[in-house]
A = this chain, B = another copy of it.
Amino acid sequence: MGTPQLTIEKGQQKMKQISKAAARVFNKIGYLEANLDDIAAAVKMSKGGIYHYFSSKEEILFVVLDNYMDIVLEGLESQLKVLPVGRPKIEFIIKRHIALYAHHKAESKTLLDDSNCLSAKYRKRIASKEREYLKLVGNTISECMREEDGIQREEATALAFLLFGMCNWCYKWYDPKGSIDPNALSRMIWTVFMKGISEYCGPKNRL
């Protein structure tokens, strides 16, 4: 037996392995169709071994999404604070969002495809973290456009959501290992968006 600290760390490590494998299984065969046998096979454990860490498939789904949302939120506020006001913040948000998707593809797809499969008590906790993220980046993007580009509030909000759409929809089509790497895709979204919004800029800022 190791020390209690080591045992906790080992347990956390195991839970991470299980939830990583589970996210891939959910992507492949769908959350509702997947069962604990599929997850056990993917992580090369017995079903009993999984029950040692999780009480149900739903608990695994919750942990997958909760851990992913923690990664999404981690350090975001302070990272945004140290960046110069304006466009660098928008550029950073796009790059970070696409990199998160590229590094946690299975979890990100699970979030968008399966979070509705959680029962209300779990779903609300994930939704509240999602709202926190959206509020933080949405307000930042919208403020940058209003201050730097002279875009009106209502249009700035709508434009921020269009940008989100381009970033979030990637989970439906984008393969980070394909011919467009995550940096290239971020640049593409940035270019389309910044060029695209120029029609909405105040007269001084119009291209």
- List of B residues within 8 angstroms of A174 by Cβ: 158, 161
Q: Which residues in B have their C-beta under 8 angstroms from that of A200? A: 188, 191
Chain A residues 122 to 142 lying within 8 A of chain B, measured CB to CB, are: 123
Compute how far the CA of A164 lies from the CA of B179 in the bound complex, rounded to whole angstroms.
20
Is A83 part of the contact surface with B, judged by Cβ < 8 Å?
Answer: no
State the main secondary structure of chain A at its contact with B: helix
Distance of A192 from chain B, by nearest CB (Å): 3
Q: Is B30 in contact with A155, judged by CB distance below 8 angstroms?
A: no
CB-defined contacts of A194 to chain B, threshold 8 Å: 196
Instruction: Give A contacts to B, CB under 8 Å.
Output: 30-33, 113-114, 116-117, 119-120, 123, 154-155, 158-159, 161-162, 164-170, 172-174, 179-180, 185, 188-189, 191-200
